[in-house]
Structure 1
């Protein structure tokens, strides 16, 4: 058992546009926090792993090829591996608890 301190907690990105902090990395999954300040832009690219987002603070809109939804604290979002996705219209500082399965960066997209 392990308590993951700070996971999902808002942290100001400082000089960076956004902030990604990985809290746990084991062979089958990784857990981290992704923060985007109000008015900020989400610059991430599709990931090679399945992903779960849990909104812990803030408000925004998530856009994917399959739909658009407003999200707020408590929202849980599944994004399959390889799917384009972006958080837009960030109206309040956004903090996301992120779970990747398998481990973030462990797979490659087919060529």
Structure 2
């Protein structure tokens, strides 16, 4: 067993920030923090992702669909799909699960 402290993390520099907490071959887990008003610069990943919103509010666009997200919202994004958090109105903290581990299938894009 491994105990992971994946609590609420604030971005240290006022920009979107990803902090990885766990990496094994089959998956990785991290916290993605986006301050209110900041932009989400991420590009599509080569792995499937699950996002679980822990705190904050924003819009999220993926696969041509836009939804409002807040605490408890859970999103699945298949590998290579364009997606982005935007219109972040409250500091956003999201748990991010990659399967397999982020970057293990090649470069983003």
Instruction: Assess same fold via TM > 0.5.
Output: yes
What do you get for the CA RMSD once the two structures are aligned? Answer: 1.2
**How many angstroms apart in 2 are the aligned matches of 1:14 and 1:108?**
28
Instruction: Spell out the pairing of 1:2-41 with structure 2 (5 A cutoff).
Output: 2-5=2-5, 7-11=6-10, 13-15=11-13, 17-41=15-39
Q: Is the 8 A contact 1:10 1:94 kept in 2?
A: no
**How many angstroms apart in 1 are the aligned matches of 2:7 and 2:97?**
10
Aligned to 1:105: 103
Residue segments in structure 1 that go unaligned for 5+ positions in a row: none
Residue segments in structure 2 that go unaligned for 5+ positions in a row: none
Q: TM-score when scaled to structure 2?
A: 0.93
Q: Alpha-carbon deviations, 1:50-96, whole Å to 9, x = none?
A: 00000000000001233010000000000000000000000000000
Aligned to 1:82: 80
Q: TM-score when scaled to structure 1?
A: 0.91
Q: 2:60 aligns with which of 52, 55, 62?
A: 62
Judging changes above 3 Å, is the alpha-carbon distance between structure 1 residues 59 and 89 closer, same or farther for their aligned structure 2 residues?
same
Number of aligned pairs? 107
